[in-house]
Amino acid sequence: MPRFTHPRLEDVPLDLALHALADPNRLDMVARLAATERLSCTDAAPCDTIPKSTLSNHLKLLRAAGLIETTQAGREMINTLRRSDFDRRFPGLLDAVLASRPG
């Protein structure tokens, strides 16, 4: 059974949060999660052609930045956005970044 590390948001520095949100693929993943309650890893992928290893790395960085929580549901890994916790730690940051997202 996979075990994921989910940091306390108080321990996440601003530069790590900004780094996680700076990548267009990760930002797209966060936007997808912001628009829905939860997504499997496959559904959170920014495109169909992304290698699984790259997707795993993106998800790992988003978890480390305190943006997502990943849980196991049967054989699937389900990701949810830690929106309220992240907003308490960095008020307005996620809204500003998502609002300035191209497209």
pLDDT, tens digit, 9 for 90 and up, residues 29-70 = 999 999 998 999 888 887 778 898 999 999 999 999 999 999
Question: Looking at this protein, which amino acid is placed at residue 71?
Answer: T
Task: Enter the tokens of residue 95.
Answer: 């809204």
Distance CA 101, CA 94 (A): 11
DSSP code at position 11: G
Q: In this structure, are residues 68 and 59 in contact, taking their beta carbons and an 8 Å threshold?
A: yes
Q: Which CATH topology does 10-100 take?
A: Arc Repressor Mutant, subunit A (1.10.10)
pLDDT digits (tens, 9 = 90+) for 65-101: 999 999 998 889 999 999 999 999 999 999 999 999 8
Task: Enter the tokens of residue 85.
Answer: 């916790």
* Cβ neighbours for 97, distance < 8 A, ≥ 6 positions apart: 21, 27
Task: Write down the pLDDT at residue 2.
Answer: 61
